[in-house]
């Protein structure tokens, strides 16, 4: 019995080590996602996270069922039942975590969603280097380091607890939005490309308006081919070809042809080149006749305008302003001689686009309620603010918990090896193994609570923790409630734990797991 229990305990140790390897690699990858992932990347890595949590729970179920089977020594439950229960546990935990996260996001009120949108603006500004935080760390590369990434993940959630957040960022918000707009279009160079695309489309419209077909114009060739085929078929009904029209019938043939194609009166029925020239003349006249006027964005434009005059028309300008997201006062030219000449148009775009963006950040909370125009946007912002810190916390908690469990299993194996042949542990031995688990967990958590890194030692982090503890609902006026203290401790542990464990976890992911991506593929 002792040997059987030893083998089972060793098997559990191996499975736990395998799980920890993937969990620690995932923990590192989760930190990589902060601030640089698409929605698809985030979804993929969330799927891996929920799956790993399900596997962690299934390992516990497997251990309990295995212990029960060994103690009863009846061969029950069978391996099929154990396997089924483990798979069911993975599926159940996967679904429950998804429901928990969705519920946590969906139950936030409109004001929370509105403030989450503002806090994620600050996070993006930090990631993209458009904003610096006074009182943080005097290091331009801090947000490329593990502790900086951990702070970025926690920042939106912590910022939501800052009293009068909107008032504190009011003076900076407009400039942050303008910088965000510039970054989104790739600066003046990227916006100039958008201008060229819009200008080319307008030029194509002017060519159509001006009706200037080239000799190789497809429509012209088609008209010429169809007219010549029709002419030859008419002759074929009489048994003639263009070269065999009888001399006494040429006048009649020319006369009938001139009713459709303006060939000269002395035209030779076999002269295809002159026939095609006549078709082209008719084609050009037809197009010119149809160009008497054209309507663009409600503006009736008369024919004959040059390209600059066409672009200057009110309707064309409205179309250009709409395509380039410009205010109604802006005028778009056909060309700009220098970067300096183009800057006013680019600046007008930035101001106009930023003003529209600010409408979302300054919108009334009612717009973030169910049915409101910004409900979906606010929900996405709430998810962005809530999910990363929650995921980091549970990932770190799972790693610490299963590391403690690993030590517990090792202690159990040692005690079993020293026990009698029946493999029955004394109460003292059982309590010793359990004590190893508890002490390992509490010891690691306590160490992380007492340790610091450059982020947690910064003045700003301390201020934000203080604001969290003193935020409305903190309890009595003299101090923070127990719940706020626990929350601030969790923020500290995550910021420290992620910062110190990332290099080790990333080494495992790269060297042991051979760079396993967990569904996240950053752009190079």
DSSP 510: I
0.75 exceeded by pTM: no
pLDDT (tens digit, 9 = 90+) per residue, 165-202? 666 666 677 778 888 888 878 888 889 999 999 999 99
Q: Could you tell me what percentage of the chain is helix, strand and coil, using 3-state DSSP and rounding each to the nearest 5?
A: 70, 0, 25
| % of the chain residues with pLDDT over 90 | 26
Helix (H) or strand (E) holding 28, with range, is: helix 2-33
pLDDT tens, position by position, 333-373: 999 888 888 999 999 999 999 888 888 888 888 888 888 88
pLDDT value, residue 477: 43
Cβ(508)–Cβ(24) below 8 Å:
yes
From residue 161, give the alpha-carbon distance in Å to each of 115, 148, 398, 463. 10, 19, 26, 11
Q: Give the mean pLDDT of the chain.
A: 82
178 CB contacts (<8 Å, ≥6 apart)? 350, 351, 354
Nearest alpha-carbon partner for 397 in 497, 520, 500: 497
Does residue 296 sit in helix, strand or coil? strand
H or E segment and range at residue 300: strand 299-301
pLDDT digits over 117-161, tens only? 887 777 777 766 666 666 666 666 777 788 888 887 777 777 766
Local confidence band at 428 (pLDDT 50, 70, 90 cut-offs) = confident
């Amino acid at each position: 019995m002792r040997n059987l229990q030893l083998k089972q305990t060793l098997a559990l140790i191996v499975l736990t080590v395998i799980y920890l390897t993937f969990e620690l690699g995932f923990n590192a990858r989760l930190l990589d996602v902060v601030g640089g992932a698409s929605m698809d990347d985030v979804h993929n890595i969330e799927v891996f996270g929920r799956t790993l949590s399900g596997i962690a729970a299934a390992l516990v179920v497997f251990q309990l069922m295995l212990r029960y089977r060994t103690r009863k020594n009846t061969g029950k439950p069978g391996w099929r039942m154990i396997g089924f229960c483990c798979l069911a546990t993975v599926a159940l935990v996967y679904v429950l975590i998804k429901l928990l996260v969705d519920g946590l996001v969906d139950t936030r009120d409109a004001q929370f969603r509105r403030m989450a949108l503002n806090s994620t603006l600050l996070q993006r500004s930090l990631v993209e280097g458009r904003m610096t935080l006074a009182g943080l760390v005097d290091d331009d590369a801090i947000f490329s380091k593990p502790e900086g990434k951990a702070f970025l993940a926690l920042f939106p959630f912590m910022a939501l607890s800052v009293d009068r957040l909107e008032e504190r960022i009011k003076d900076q918000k407009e400039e942050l939005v303008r910088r965000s707009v510039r970054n989104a279009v790739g600066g003046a160079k990227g916006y100039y490309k958008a201008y060229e695309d819009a200008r080319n489309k307008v030029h194509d419209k002017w060519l159509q308006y001006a009706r200037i077909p080239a000799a190789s114009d497809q429509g012209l060739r088609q008209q010429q081919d169809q007219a010549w085929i029709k002419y030859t078929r008419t002759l074929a009904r009489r048994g003639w070809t263009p070269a065999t029209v009888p001399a006494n019938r040429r006048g009649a043939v020319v006369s009938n042809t001139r009713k459709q194609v303006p060939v000269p009166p002395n035209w030779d029925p076999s002269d295809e080149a002159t026939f095609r020239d006549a078709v082209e003349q008719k084609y050009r006249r037809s197009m010119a006749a149809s160009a008497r006027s054209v309507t663009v964005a409600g503006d009736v434009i008369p024919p004959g305008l040059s390209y600059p005059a066409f672009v200057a028309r009110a309707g064309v300008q409205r179309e250009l302003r709409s395509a380039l997201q410009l205010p109604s006062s802006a005028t778009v030219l056909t060309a700009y001689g220098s970067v300096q000449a183009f800057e006013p148009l680019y600046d007008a775009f930035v101001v106009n686009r930023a003003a529209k963006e600010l409408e979302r950040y300054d919108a009334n909370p009612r717009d973030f309620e169910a049915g409101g125009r910004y409900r979906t946007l606010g929900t996405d912002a709430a998810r962005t603010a809530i999910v990363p810190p929650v995921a980091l916390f549970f990932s770190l908690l799972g790693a610490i918990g299963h590391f403690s469990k690993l030590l517990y299993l090792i202690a159990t194996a040692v005690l079993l090896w020293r026990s009698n042949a029946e493999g029955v542990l004394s109460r003292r031995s059982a309590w010793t193994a359990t004590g190893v688990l508890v002490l390992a967990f509490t010891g690691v958590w306590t160490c992380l609570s007492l340790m610091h890194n450059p982020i947690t030692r910064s003045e700003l982090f301390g201020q934000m923790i203080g604001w969290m503890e003193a935020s409305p609902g903190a309890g009595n006026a003299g101090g923070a409630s127990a719940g706020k203290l626990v929350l601030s401790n969790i923020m500290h542990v995550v910021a420290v734990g992620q910062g110190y464990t990332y290099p080790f976890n990333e080494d495992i992911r790269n060297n042991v797991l051979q760079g396993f991506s967990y569904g996240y593929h950053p752009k190079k």
